[in-house]
Amino acid sequence: MSAPLTRAEVEAIAALAQLELSEVELDLFARQLADILTYVDQLKEVDTSGVPPTISVSADHDGDRPDEVRPSLDRRAALENAPEAAQEAGLFKVPRVL
């Protein structure tokens, strides 16, 4: 079983996550993180020696289809309904992201 987290450990974790926590939140998160670590300790005790590694949780891989070339949407048709499209350049105008 994991030892309870100290207030200093929770403050250090909060600093790494760039979070400012109140006194009440520090106590609350210390308890919650300790509960999570206790649960992880319980999971470590489960015998998984006979379980093969899993690469995907989904047994159905419909997304793994072979690539095939298909005709795409015409550039003019794609730009027709775009607000402020640069038709002559064949581009969509979008707001600047800085």
pLDDT, position 2: 58
Q: Which domains does the chain have, with CATH numbers?
A: 7-44 (1.10.20)
Question: Which tokens in the block code for residue 53?
Answer: 């590694």
Cα separations (Å) of 10 from 17, 35, 63, 74, 87? Answer: 11, 13, 42, 55, 55
Cβ neighbours around 10 below 10 Å, total = 21
pLDDT, position 47: 93
Cα 77 versus chain centre, distance: 34
Phi, psi of 80 (to 5 degrees): -55, -45
Cα separations (Å) of 28 from 25, 68, 73? Answer: 5, 54, 54
pLDDT < 50 stretches in the chain: none
pLDDT, position 62: 65
pLDDT, position 11: 94
pLDDT, position 60: 65
Beta bridge partners of 35: none
pLDDT, position 45: 93
pLDDT, position 80: 84
